[in-house]
Chains A and B, each alone.
Chain A
Amino acid sequence: MIQMFHVTKAFGNDPPTLMDINLDIQKGEFVFLTGPSGAGKTTLLKLVFLAERATRGQVLVSGRNVARLRESGIPYLRRNIGVVFQDFKLLPNRSVAENVGFALDVIGTPRELVRQKALKILKRVGLEHKANVLPPKLSGGEQQRVVIARALVNDPAILLADEPTGNLDPALTVEIMDLLCDVNARGTTVVVATHDASLIERYHKRTLRLERGTLVSEERGAKAALLMVQG
Chain B
Amino acid sequence: MIAAKASYFARTALGGMWRDPFVHVIAIASLAIALVGFGLARIAGAQIDALVSALGGEVELTVYLKDGTPAEEVKKLEAALAQRTGGVARTVSPAEALGRLSEQLGPQGQALTELGANPLPWSVEVTLPPQLRDLASLQALAQTLRALTFVEAVDYGADALERLAALSKGLKLASVVAFAIVFLTTIVVVSATLQLAIYSRREEIEIQKLVGATNRFVRAPFLLEGMVQGLLSAVLATLALWALVTWAAPRAAGMLGFLALPKGSQLMSTRLMVELLLLGLAMGLSGSVVAVRRFLRV
Interface residues in chain A, defined as those with a beta carbon under 8 Å from any beta carbon in chain B: 49, 51, 71-72, 75-79, 83, 85, 89, 91, 102-103, 105-111, 150, 154
Contacts and interface: CB of A to CB of B under 8 A. Distances in A.
Interface string B185-211: 000000000000000000110111111
Interface stretch (B2-10, B38-46, B261-269): B2-10
Contacts of A154: 211-212
Contacts of A91: 203-204, 207
Nearest to A104: B211
A110 B207 contact: no
Interface in B1-43: 1-5, 7-8
The secondary structure that dominates the B interface is helix
B8 A78 contact: no
B83 interface: no
B208 to A, nearest CB: 6
Interface string B249-277: 00000000000000000000000000000
Given A91-B203, A91-B204, A106-B217, A51 B210 contact: yes
Best-buried of A85, A89, A107 by chain B (most CB within 10 Å): A107
Given A89-B207, A102-B207, A75 B7 contact: no
A153 B211 CA distance: 11
- Give the interface size class of chain B: 20 to 34
B213 A75 contact: yes
Contacts of B4: 108-111
Interface of B: 1-5, 7-8, 203-204, 206-215, 217
Given A108-B2, A108-B4, A109-B4, A76 B212 contact: yes
15 contacts: A49-B210, A72-B215, A75-B209, A75-B213, A75-B214, A78-B212, A79-B212, A89-B210, A102-B211, A107-B212, A108-B1, A108-B4, A108-B8, A110-B1, A110-B4
A72 B216 CA distance: 10
Given A108-B2, A109-B4, 19 more contacts: A79-B212, A83-B210, A89-B203, A91-B207, A102-B211, A106-B212, A106-B213, A106-B214, A106-B217, A107-B1, A108-B1, A108-B4, A108-B5, A109-B1, A110-B1, A110-B4, A110-B7, A111-B7, A150-B211
Contact of B8 (A51, A71, A105, A150): A105
A110 B212 contact: no
A213 to B, nearest CB: 24
